[in-house]
Amino acid sequence: MDRKNITIREDQSEWVENKQVNLSQLVQEAIDEAMDPSDSELARAYQENADHAAEVNEEWSHVSNEANKQLGEPPRDRE
């Protein structure tokens, strides 16, 4: 890990000391939030979303089928 020096105001220094905050951790978390997600983070989020979408589709597909049975097929656009 790289070491960097940062400058903070006196009131910020007092706040950090009073709250017993780990300044390195606070700065790392702030930088992480400001950074764009990595390719692996995007891939993981995409996969989680795809898995969730498949689950929701499976859970609700019966509702659509039941509606079609009760109401008939939906109207189709006519050209």
Range of the domain at 54: 10-70
Instruction: Flag whether the pTM goes above 0.85.
Output: no
Q: How far apart are CA 25 and CA 12, in angstroms?
A: 15
Q: Is the pLDDT of residue 67 over 90?
A: no
The answer as to whether 25 is a domain residue is yes
Average pLDDT of the chain to the nearest whole number:
89
Looking up tokens 């990595």, which residue turns up? 38
Pure H helices in 1-79: 10-19, 23-34, 39-71
**Would 66 be classed as within a structural domain?**
yes
**pLDDT, tens digit, 9 for 90 and up, residues 2-59:** 999 999 999 999 999 999 999 999 999 999 999 988 999 999 999 999 999 998 988 8
Q: Is residue 32 part of a domain?
A: yes
Task: Tell me, yes or no, whether 75 lies in a domain.
Answer: no
Centroid of chain to Cα 61: 26
The total domain count for the chain is: 1
Domain assignment of residue 43, yes or no: yes
Residue 76 lies in a domain: no
Name the pLDDT band for 62 (thresholds 50, 70, 90).
confident
Non-local CB neighbours of 26 within 8 Å, separated by 6+ positions: 16
Is 77 inside any structural domain? no
